[in-house]
Amino acid sequence: MVYKTDYHMHSTFSDGRSAPEDYVVSAITAGLSEIGFSEHLTLFKDLEDWNMNPVNTSPYINHIENLRKQFKNIKIKIGLEVDFFEGKEYEIFDFLRPLPLDYIIGSVHYLGEKTVDFGPEFYEGKNIDRLFEAYIHSVAAATASGLFDIIGHCDLIRIYGFRPSSDLEPLYRMLAKTMKIHDVAFELNTNGRNRPLADFYPDRKFLHIFREEHVPVCVNSDAHMPSRVGQYFDEAYELLRYIGFTEMAVFDKRIRHMVPF
Ligand SMILES: [Zn+2]
Ligand SMILES: [Zn+2]
């Protein structure tokens, strides 16, 4: 049996629909061996309703630690999905340093003052080539910051299906090389299938680049409700196998191990 993990899910501690325990039950039913929570943490912006209030970080961690004691037949990890802001690396580092986390997902949701995933209006009237370039460069800066273990949905900028006219391969190649150099994993995020894009992140056309550059991979659902834990995973693993991946990254107290699948 494939050792399956799902490290990207949101409970009511941020913008998920259910309490963490409901996701654990769902994960056991889905046959996962290991799961991890990754609530949204966004420093330096006004608190939005999709984010966990930073003062709730300790109660959140305590809650997940208690779940570990309650559920013995599945491994439960503690993570965060943290927004990256260039120029704020030291402040983010200071906030994260004392936390007893198993992994940290670094994500770019903001380009400037706006998030790229809160409606197609963001894209209208803009140069799509430049948006893609700016987005991927911001993700590469997040990768090189040393703050994160996993990069979340590395081409979220595809969410509404806008396509640039230029060749994107060099951008993905640069990103994959940066991930390898800084020893950061990428995720095959299956939640894009539920968004207007209707496909996984990253673009399957460029998955071979991550393989060629030997970037470690995780498969994550980015579930915001228990029924989506482990969603589309059979297809995701099949896709990775087809590309040539043979092992996946698991994390424990921010140390990466590789497990064959
Ligand atoms: Zn995200
Ligand atoms: Zn997420």
Calculate how far, in angstroms, residue 9's C-alpha sits from the geometric centre of ligand 2.
6
In this prediction, residue 164 carries a pLDDT of 96
| Confidence class for position 2, pLDDT limits 50, 70, 90 | confident
| Residue 130 confidence (pLDDT) above 80 | yes
In this prediction, residue 250 carries a pLDDT of 98
Calculate how far, in angstroms, residue 211's C-alpha sits from the geometric centre of ligand 1.
23
Calculate how far, in angstroms, residue 130's C-alpha sits from the geometric centre of ligand 1.
21
Mean pLDDT of 110-116: 95
151, two tokens? 């990069």
Calculate how far, in angstroms, residue 108's C-alpha sits from the geometric centre of ligand 2.
10
CA 161 to chain centre: 19
| Residue 91 confidence (pLDDT) above 80 | yes
Calculate how far, in angstroms, residue 213's C-alpha sits from the geometric centre of ligand 1.
24
Cα atoms found within 13 Å of the Cα of residue 22, Cβ hemisphere only: 15
Calculate how far, in angstroms, residue 219's C-alpha sits from the geometric centre of ligand 2.
13
| Residue 180 confidence (pLDDT) above 90 | yes
| Confidence class for position 150, pLDDT limits 50, 70, 90 | very high
In this prediction, residue 87 carries a pLDDT of 95
What is the value of pTM for the model shown?
Answer: 0.98
In this prediction, residue 46 carries a pLDDT of 87
- Kindly provide the b/e burial profile for residues 23-47, where b requires at least 16 CB atoms within 10 angstroms of the residue's own CB: bbebbeebebbbbbbbbbbbeeeee
| Residue 24 confidence (pLDDT) above 90 | yes
| Confidence class for position 14, pLDDT limits 50, 70, 90 | very high
Tell me which ligand sits closest to the C-alpha of residue 117.
1
CB–CB of 220/212 below 8 Å?
A: no
Calculate how far, in angstroms, residue 215's C-alpha sits from the geometric centre of ligand 1.
20
| Confidence class for position 101, pLDDT limits 50, 70, 90 | very high
- Kindly provide the b/e burial profile for residues 109-119, where b requires at least 16 CB atoms within 10 angstroms of the residue's own CB: bbeeeebbbee
Omega within 30 of 0 (cis) for the link into 216: no
Calculate how far, in angstroms, residue 124's C-alpha sits from the geometric centre of ligand 2.
24
**Average pLDDT of the chain to the nearest whole number:** 97
181, two tokens? 């150099």
Calculate how far, in angstroms, residue 111's C-alpha sits from the geometric centre of ligand 1.
13
In this prediction, residue 223 carries a pLDDT of 98
Calculate how far, in angstroms, residue 154's C-alpha sits from the geometric centre of ligand 1.
9
How far is 6 from 8, CA to CA, in rounded Å? 6
